[in-house]
Structures are given as C-alpha cells and as structure tokens.
Chain A
C-alpha cells in the first residue's frame, strides 16, 4: 500500500477524437493531491477537451482515468468500453469542481440559490444546512452582499466568483478551471485570480487553463504546454519559460501573449 505517493488523478493514454480530428492525443498525466497545474497552449490545442474529458463531459475513445486510484468513467463489457452507469458518472463529477469560461450560472436562481443547488439537489442536504454552507462560501469569495440578487445583475468578475463558489459548495477534491478570466474585462481579472489564489493557499488541487502567464508563474507548481492534443513541454514555471528559449513554438506562443 503506497497510498501516500498515489496521485489524486492519473490519466493514462487518454485519446479523444472528433470524427477524424484528434483533440487529445494519448496523453499521460499525474496530478498529486494539492498540486496546482497550469495548462497553456494555442487555441484549438485540446486544453478544454482534456479538462472536459477528466470530468466525463466528453467521452474518450482510449485510455483510462484514475481518480484516487480507482478507475472511473468507463466499464468493459464483452471486450468493449462503455460509459459507466449515469449514477457513477454523476458521483465522480460531484467530487470534481468545474469552472467555465462563460460562468454558466443558473440565471433563474439567486446567487445563494446557485451556490446551494449542489448540496441541496445532489447531496440531498437539508435546506438550512445547504444554506449555511452557501452563506459561508459566499463570504469567502467576498459576495455576501449579493446573496439575494439574480446573476443578471452581477459584473463578470462577480459572476465568475459565484461560479467558483457554486463548485466549492460541493466540497470537491479537484477543481478544473477552463480559462476562468478570458471572458472578463481586464480590470475584473484580478478579483477572480485572488479568489483562486485563496483556494490554492488552502491546499486545493487544481488544474487551470489560462493565457495569463504572470498568474501561471505565480501560482503553478507545474506548467504544461499543450499543442495539437499533445504535451509539448512541462515543468516548473521557471523550467518551462527557460526551455522556451530553445523551443520555437513555445517561444512564439509566449511572445504573442507577452
């Protein structure tokens, strides 16, 4: 039993194709508990598809996903892979939080309602318990005063913080952020990064797709450069940025961003 060194998430030869386009090409990845992983790469390189494959929003063609050591998402029947039972898939998603570029808040629920929804509907917690969880998390993301308004009245930065709170209310073991600040006005990016930072400091395991290099450098334990469905390079921020000196593609990509 070497559970101590066991990664929280382990991807083995993950391949995802859309018709004849290979969006994720036989990727291997270990994410240790508490690790902060940043994925960068040009548009269309498969970053979103990889994140979505992890929480089973995309059905992969090949490979295995292990979460806390157990194989998840797929079962073998008569020598063929099939998606696991819907309940098992939902159960895994409940343990993995996801934050989208475009927030996807539930517009018909108040801010508090959005954050309560997971505990209430998925975890079947009593309303008052779900409520106190939501109140606490909203305080953490600094939105206590917005509890009772509808998302339509919020700024982009506030919306994204509510989306983070909604994911956190499920007490996930892993958080996936897919370009959480790309839809925001520049002046609103900071508040969302601050929120993610706070989470990181609390030891949350997270995979973040972002184009903000400064943020990646500051936060990441490891940065992966992805292109055409492959991991082209990875390492600590320092390693990656120095390796960029001798890799044209990474250098080109970073120069365009900086």
Chain B
C-alpha cells in the first residue's frame, strides 16, 4: 500500500516536472530531499526515477545538480551491485565533464569492483603489507635476541643442574621449575607491569627479551642437560684419561657432540618461539600479531589476519629448513 502511494507520488511529480521547462534551485533542493526520503524508505527505484529527471545542463547552466543526481544514482546502482548501470550513469557525467574528480574516482573504484575477487585481495595485500612487514621485522628481532640469549642461559642452567655443588644445582633446578611451571604471559606481565613497583622500569623490548630469554633458557636448559647426559660416559673418561680438566672435557669433547642431538628439539623450541612472540603484543609491543590485529580492527578485513598467518608460516618454514641443514652439518662426522 505504502509502495503504491509512493509510486503515484513519483508519477505526479514526474508529470509536474515535465510541464515545467526547467527547474529552479529550490526545485532541485526539494528533489534531492525527496530522493533522500525515498531512499530512507527503501524505495531505491523511486529515488532513481526522481534523480533521472534532472536534465543535462545546457551550456550556460549550473552543472552541480546534474552531477550530484547522476553520482547519487550511480551510488544507488553500485549498492544494488548493478555496476554496469552505475558505470553508464557515471559515464554520462564524464561525457560532459571529463575532468570531474568525483566521477573519475567512482569509475575507477567501479572498475576495481568489476575485477575478480583475487584482485581485491591483492590490493588489500599491497595496502597491508608495509605495516605487517614492520611487525614481522619486530617479531624477527625478538626471535633473534631470544635465540642469542637463551642457548647461553640454557647451557648455564644445564651445567648448573649437572653440577655436584648442591647450591648451584638447587638454584638451577629452581629456575627451571619456576619458568617452566608458570605461563609465559604471566612472566611477561610480571616483568613489564610488576617490576616497576620494585623501581625497575623496562622498555617493552627489553622486558620482552628478558621474559622470552628466561623462559626459553629454562626449556633449553633441560634439553641441553638431556643431550649432555646422553653422551656415552666413556667420552668423559677418555677425555679425563688424557689429562683434561672437567671444563676442557665439556668444552672440547662433550658439548660439541650434543649439537646434532640438540638440533631437532631446539629447532622445535625456536619454532614455538616464533609463535610465542605473539604474546608480547600484550605488553605494548607492535610485532606481527599486534600489527595484524590493528589492521583487522581498523579495516575489519580478514585479509590482514590471513596475511599474518602466511608470514608466520613463511618464517617457521625458513627456520625449519635452516635447522635441518644445521642438523645435517652438525652430524656430518657420523656419516660413513
């Protein structure tokens, strides 16, 4: 019923405009207002019919109403996914006013729309990549810092655990017990938000590297200890028998033999580390996860998250490959 009334109203309006040779500024104002009303009511066809009544301007006439009406119509077509009609309408404007910016941008956007879906994904990718790359670099920085710190920490903890000096082995046992037994997230919070209350304020990067470094030292410590203890006891005896001290035997004989055995589990840990760096996004660091999250929240575009997943996969794949290579090299003396 409502629809019929509005139809009749449009028809009337149409007749009325036909009778007038041309429309004044107020008439246009009213026309646009009515268009808005119709659109608000959901009568897009009605709105379109109204807009079409605005004639092309003659040489000396104002172009504004014509351009506005056609652009409005084009937007309505576009919203109806009738991009062909939208384009034709847009072209009407461009035929008369080739330099009109609004029409040109709109036509360009329409062309983009007419392209296949992957094209949109590609342009999103191009748009998001700089921010994500910056985040990925930060992730890599975190990974490298932790990879520098934690093997050393792990070795110390491992040697401490093996030590026959009770206070040292007890202390190292405690370190491992604590850092393996509590969530990394909690440790990060404690270091970044908790330490300031003890008067120690750390930059996010420092706090993140300390947290990740301690955590991974504890894990690597147990792995390294296992590897050291898996080396045949005869090796230590043979080293001692030629007069080596404990530390010489460790450094020259035992530890070098652990490298090959260490590579698979350590590689695993470092791949876990790449993903664990995502946790530091909670202490005000913009790394890959945070960057993706920000883009997602701004553009509400899932592509940002998908891209982050791809970058994580690329990173972990590269690391897997590198560690396989190192493992092979480290064990080369076992090849016959």
CB-defined interface of B256-278 with A at 8 Å, one 1/0 digit per residue? 11000000000000000000000
Return the chain A residue nearest B232 by Cβ.
A104
Residues from 225 to 255 in B contacting A, C-beta threshold 8 Å: 232, 234-235, 237-246, 248, 252-253
Q: Tell me which of A25-33, A35-43, A91-99 binds B.
A: A91-99
Q: Are A121 and B256 in contact (CB under 8 A)?
A: no
Instruction: Tell me, in angstroms, the Cα distance from A13 to B248 when the chains sit together.
Output: 33
Residues from 321 to 336 in B contacting A, C-beta threshold 8 Å: 333-336
Instruction: Tell me, in angstroms, the Cα distance from A95 to B246 when the chains sit together.
Output: 17
Q: Are B244 and A122 in contact (CB under 8 A)?
A: yes
Partner of A152 from the list B234, B244, B253, B336 (CB cut-off 8 Å) is: B336
Return the chain A residue nearest B258 by Cβ.
A108
Q: Are B245 and A86 in contact (CB under 8 A)?
A: yes
Known: A104-B235, A117-B252. A57 touches B333 (CB 8 A): no
Instruction: Tell me, in angstroms, the Cα distance from A153 to B326 when the chains sit together.
Output: 21
Q: Are A121 and B333 in contact (CB under 8 A)?
A: no
Q: Are A90 and B244 in contact (CB under 8 A)?
A: yes
Q: Are B241 and A167 in contact (CB under 8 A)?
A: yes
Known: A93-B241, A107-B257, A166-B242. A152 touches B248 (CB 8 A): no
Q: Are B243 and A104 in contact (CB under 8 A)?
A: no
Instruction: Tell me, in angstroms, the Cα distance from A56 to B252 when the chains sit together.
Output: 21
Partner of B245 from the list A90, A96, A117, A152 (CB cut-off 8 Å) is: A90
Residues of B within 8 A of A95 (CB): 243
The B contact surface, by secondary structure, is: helix
Q: Are A93 and B243 in contact (CB under 8 A)?
A: yes
Instruction: Tell me, in angstroms, the Cα distance from A169 to B239 when the chains sit together.
Output: 13
Residues from 72 to 107 in A contacting B, C-beta threshold 8 Å: 86-87, 90-91, 93-98, 100, 102, 104-107
Residues of B within 8 A of A122 (CB): 242-244, 248
Q: Are A90 and B235 in contact (CB under 8 A)?
A: no
Partner of A104 from the list B238, B244, B256, B336 (CB cut-off 8 Å) is: B238
A193 at interface, CB cutoff 8 A: no
Partner of B240 from the list A57, A87, A97, A166 (CB cut-off 8 Å) is: A57
Residues of A within 8 A of B243 (CB): 90-91, 93-95, 118, 122-123, 170
Return the chain A residue nearest B332 by Cβ.
A150
The contact size tier of chain B is: 20 to 34
Residues of A within 8 A of B246 (CB): 86
Residues of B within 8 A of A100 (CB): 234, 237-238, 241
Residues of B within 8 A of A117 (CB): 242, 252
Q: Are B237 and A104 in contact (CB under 8 A)?
A: yes
Partner of B242 from the list A94, A108, A152 (CB cut-off 8 Å) is: A94
Residues of B within 8 A of A121 (CB): 244, 248, 252
The contact size tier of chain A is: 20 to 34
Return the chain B residue nearest A151 by Cβ.
B333
Residues of B within 8 A of A118 (CB): 242-243
Return the chain A residue nearest B236 by Cβ.
A104
Instruction: Tell me, in angstroms, the Cα distance from A167 to B239 when the chains sit together.
Output: 10
Partner of A102 from the list B234, B240, B248 (CB cut-off 8 Å) is: B234
Q: Are A93 and B242 in contact (CB under 8 A)?
A: yes
Instruction: Tell me, in angstroms, the Cα distance from A7 to B235 when the chains sit together.
Output: 31
Q: Are A55 and B241 in contact (CB under 8 A)?
A: yes
Partner of B334 from the list A94, A152, A166 (CB cut-off 8 Å) is: A152
* Closest chain A CB from B106 CB (angstroms): 70
Q: Which residue, of A93, A108, A118, A166, has the highest number of chain B Cβ atoms within 10 A?
A: A108
Residues of A within 8 A of B238 (CB): 98, 100, 104-106, 163, 166
Instruction: Tell me, in angstroms, the Cα distance from A94 to B234 when the chains sit together.
Output: 17
Instruction: Tell me, in angstroms, the Cα distance from A151 to B333 when the chains sit together.
Output: 8
Known: A107-B333, A107-B334. A57 touches B237 (CB 8 A): yes
Residues of A within 8 A of B240 (CB): 57, 90, 93
Instruction: Tell me, in angstroms, the Cα distance from A84 to B336 when the chains sit together.
Output: 42
Instruction: Tell me, in angstroms, the Cα distance from A86 to B243 when the chains sit together.
Output: 10
* Closest chain B CB from A56 CB (angstroms): 8
Residues from 211 to 252 in A contacting B, C-beta threshold 8 Å: none
Instruction: Tell me, in angstroms, the Cα distance from A55 to B239 when the chains sit together.
Output: 12
Q: Which residue, of A86, A104, A118, A170, has the highest number of chain B Cβ atoms within 10 A?
A: A104
Instruction: Tell me, in angstroms, the Cα distance from A210 to B76 when the chains sit together.
Output: 101
Instruction: Tell me, in angstroms, the Cα distance from A118 to B237 when the chains sit together.
Output: 13
Partner of B234 from the list A86, A104, A170 (CB cut-off 8 Å) is: A104
Partner of B253 from the list A87, A106, A163 (CB cut-off 8 Å) is: A106
Residues of B within 8 A of A123 (CB): 243
Q: 7 pairs across A/B with beta carbons < 8 Å?
A: A57-B237, A93-B241, A107-B257, A118-B242, A122-B244, A152-B334, A166-B242
Which 7 A-B pairs give the minimum distances between C-beta atoms? A94-B243, A104-B238, A104-B234, A98-B241, A118-B242, A150-B333, A122-B243
- Contacts from A to B (Cβ < 8 Å): 55, 57, 86-87, 90-91, 93-98, 100, 102, 104-109, 117-118, 121-123, 150-153, 163, 166-167, 169-170
Kindly list 5 other residue pairs between chains A and B, CB separation below 8 angstroms, not including A94-B242, A117-B252: A104-B238, A121-B244, A163-B238, A167-B242, A170-B242
